[in-house]
Structure 1
């Protein structure tokens, strides 16, 4: 392969990756129009990126980014590492609440957990960094979904929504109303929707006026009910604002 072709391929691949924003899916044709790269070239590069698990094609035939970029460079969202930036805030969140704190981002049709601080209690939410959860059955997932564009929300609602517990929202109309409520209140709750006995609260984290992730706290419902919802949301919002200031200005 000539050197110039190799360089052009890398440049084209980077330009393709730059088109993915806010979890929105894109078809090869749409990417070709946005970048001016010939459709045949786009198809070839998307196939390569798919084989390397950097993008994933959904049931709607559109492509979305995965967390593979995080694995490759641990810097898919920000430099320095977003994980390193948010972790001190997760530690503080866990210290204050006594529960498990997570920072999550959209990963295709899932919520991807990229940073975590465990609760000191032996009975706590079982999760791990890199875990991909359902958007419709987690507080973090519903929060990220509420800040997504309408096309992406429609594509999620068009899919069969798996019922994890008797509390899981599987009716598209009800979930759409839930999304509207979350967008209005600016916080989301998972009340035993993913796992019986588990309660979770989540708020958005902004950077340059865009919701780039979700900050959440999770634990056994019986223990979390010792505080009010307002208390948890206030704590989460304080930590979320701290993360935003740290990302924008380097302020702790």
Structure 2
């Protein structure tokens, strides 16, 4: 392994489920010798990519956040989308999300929520399978057909009994999004929630998608006009 690959493995050891790790835990997760792990972690901490807590555990440092904020698909998009996301959030008081497609996954670039909104697993910077989310289905509906074929040919992660894993059914859902312009993901990630998504376009085509996450018992169609209006507003701002 190259030094770069080892460094990336160290950073990749940190996840939502394990945001803080000891040197020993990093060594076990990466398969690197403890001495190598100690050297790499020390260099990363010195640069600011990792931070050491008083407990001795390490966390991702602010320097990485600064670098990540420079990603062009996140910054410009987020800045132009925020007024519309905030309006949608203010009107509905539900979770509002903005995401982009990265292979078979979506990456969330923004999320607005309140303490009394239905619980969700996502946060800004997190990833989810495109096939199980409202934003993901909206993006797949306008993605390159070869990418869609590759995504549907791969195993699909199941989150709940309602998660759609059958390729033929997923293809039908994607086709329905193309027809209606709206993506519905009902209890696929959590049984307590569902999402209503819509694509966002710039002058070149679909570049992102937004969604609102609402309780499972809510009527998703009552939120469709607001979601579509927000998506159109962001699209106009991007163009």
1: distance between equivalents of 2:118 and 2:173? 29
Instruction: State the TM-score, normalizing by the size of structure 1.
Output: 0.66
Unaligned runs of 5+ in 2: 10-63
1: distance between equivalents of 2:148 and 2:69? 29
2: distance between equivalents of 1:162 and 1:98? 29
Q: 1:168-199 deviations in whole A, cap 9, x for unaligned? A: 11111111111111111111111001111111
2:169 aligned residue: 174
1:156 match: secondary structure: helix
1:97 aligned residue: 92
Instruction: State the TM-score, normalizing by the size of structure 2.
Output: 0.69
Is 1:77 aligned with 2:68? Answer: no
Q: Relative to 1, partners in 2 of residues 1:52 and 1:76: Cα closer, same or farther, differing over 3 Å? A: farther
1: distance between equivalents of 2:81 and 2:195? 18
2: distance between equivalents of 1:71 and 1:176? 37
Q: Compute the displacement of 1:84 (Å).
A: 1.7
1: distance between equivalents of 2:117 and 2:68? 33
1: distance between equivalents of 2:192 and 2:118? 11
2:232 aligned residue: 241
Q: How many residues end up aligned between the 2 structures?
A: 184
Q: Relative to 1, partners in 2 of residues 1:112 and 1:98: Cα closer, same or farther, differing over 3 Å? A: same
On the 8 A contact 1:188/1:201 being kept in 2, the answer is yes
Counterpart of 2:126 (choices 122, 131, 145) is 131
Q: Compute the displacement of 1:52 (Å).
A: 6.6
2: distance between equivalents of 1:115 and 1:181? 26
1:208 aligned residue: 203
2: distance between equivalents of 1:124 and 1:71? 29
1:89 match: secondary structure: helix
